[in-house]
Amino acid sequence: MLQLSFYQQCPSPPIPSPSLFSSPSSSCPYVSLKSTVSCCLSPSPVTVVDGSADRRISERNEIRLGLPSKGRMASDTLDLLKDCQLSVRQVNPRQYVAQIPQLSNLEVWFQRPKDIVRKLLSGDLDLGIVGFDIVSEYGQGNEDLVLVHDALEYGECRLSIAIPKYGIFENINSVRELAQMHQWTVEKPLRVATGFTYLGPKFMKENGLKHVAFSTADGALEAAPAMGIADAILDLVSSGTTLKENNLKEIEGGVVLESQAVLVASKKSLTQRKGVLDTTHEILERLEAHLRALGQFTVSVFCTYAMVVFFL
């Protein structure tokens, strides 16, 4: 059974209307079912241009669920849904749209993870399953993103800083020590290679690293320091084996966030599109039943279905 409790995760300015999944004293839209993570990282610079999200929500009737289109996250997501008796039926493997017969009026759209978050914000998707790191990087704390389920038990990794084990970094073992190095100046900043151009600068600023230059890169970042392209990297780490094999090390205080697969929704869709709330509720119930069967599921939801209907 889903358990009701309200919780304030992060402060933000009050909004005039009741927030769907938030406490009365916070406008941070957040539903936690296991770990204490929040999609409300900071006041968000992301906005919807010309109110297009509201218009797109009103223009269609079908409910849209975005799923990763490629890679391990894609296959693991399909496996999870199948275990929940929600098998995705794709007539043509080259098509980007599919169905889940058990959920009426639902379309599955296969997208790149970052595009899932962007399309939730634009109103082109209603629900999505992606990594929490992607929600944090591309959602940037936007209050229209509701973290419905934050612990789907796969895709575990961490976004972490890594530096070389050798040279000037040999005796550097923490972010504090890294920030105190006298080498970093305006003329010669710490060079960081990363694909996380929102979370990276935010984390560095919060940890006292003033002179940092970021270079955007995707894939094989571990080679950047050895090639002289960067002094450090900020990347996703699972086991850490690849870092060790490339003479890199993580440092104390250098983990930006812990990530795994999450179910995220558009608050506008939950409140404005008919059937989205019911579909979300059914998906949650199936996830609960499956994860409880595995002996891994602890649930704490911050709003009941009846309370949400009341706000509608």
Whole-number pLDDT of residue 33:
34
Report which secondary-structure segment, H or E, holds 214.
Answer: strand 212-216
**Domain identity same for 130 and 266:** yes
Co-location of 121 and 265 in the same domain: yes
Q: Check whether residue 233 and residue 288 sit in a common domain.
A: no
Task: Kindly report, residue by residue over 145-196, the tens digit of the pLDDT.
Answer: 999 998 999 999 999 999 999 999 999 999 999 999 999 999 999 999 999 9
Same domain, 304 and 172: no
**136: CATH:** 3.40.190.10
Residue 3 counted as domain residue:
no
Tokens of 74: 């894609």
In a domain, 226, yes or no: yes
Q: Based on the domain organization, do 183 and 210 belong to the same domain?
A: yes
Please tell me whether residues 183 and 151 are part of one structural domain: no
Q: Are 136 and 37 in contact (CB under 8 A)?
A: no
The whole-angstrom separation of Cα 276 and Cα 57 is 11
Domain count, the chain: 2
Domain that holds residue 126: 49-156+260-311
Sheet holding 127-131, edge to edge: 97-99, 106-111, 63-68, 127-131, 261-266, 145-149
- pLDDT (0 to 100) of residue 295: 73
The answer to whether residue 92 sits within a structural domain is: yes
Angstrom distance (rounded) from CA 85 to CA 199: 36
According to the model, what pLDDT value does residue 238 have? 93
In the prediction, which pLDDT does 160 show? Answer: 97
pTM: 0.76
Convert 82-93 to b/e letters by CB count within 10 Å (16 or more is b).
Answer: ebbebebeeeee
pLDDT in tens, 248-271: 999 999 999 999 999 999 999 999
Q: Around 244, how many Cα atoms within 13 Å sit in the side-chain half-sphere? A: 4
Distance CA 171, CA 165 (A): 8
Q: Does one domain contain both 143 and 280?
A: yes
């599955």: which residue's tokens?
Answer: 108
Phi-psi region of 245 (alpha: psi -120 to 50; beta: other; left: phi over 0): alpha
Classify residue 264: in a domain, yes or no: yes
**Could you tell me the end-to-end alpha-carbon distance of the chain, in angstroms, rounded to an integer?**
22
19 falls within a domain? no
Query: pLDDT value at position 55?
Result: 60
Q: In this structure, is residue 35 part of a structural domain? A: no
Shared-domain flag, residues 228 and 180: yes
- Joined tokens for residue 240: 């850490």
Paired tokens of 83: 């275990």
What stretches in the chain show pLDDT beneath 50? 1-50, 297-312
Residue 28 lies in a domain: no
Task: For residues 139 and 167, state if they share a domain.
Answer: no
Interacting residues of 255 by C-beta distance below 8 A, sequence separation 6+: 158, 159, 160, 161
Helix (H) or strand (E) holding 290: helix 276-293
Alpha-carbon separation of residue 102 from 88, 130, 227 (angstroms): 9, 21, 52
Q: Would you state the pLDDT for residue 11?
A: 38
Of the residues 239, 258, 277, which one is the last residue of a structural domain?
Answer: 258
Angle between helices 52-59 and 113-122 (to 10 degrees): 90
Separation of alpha carbons 264 and 177, rounded Å = 37
Is the same domain home to 108 and 227?
Answer: no
Same domain, 152 and 266: yes
Are 61 and 145 part of one and the same domain?
Answer: yes
Q: Which of 214, 231, 258 is the last residue of a domain?
A: 258
C-alpha dihedral sign at 63, 156, 251, 168: negative
Residue 246 forms part of a structural domain: yes
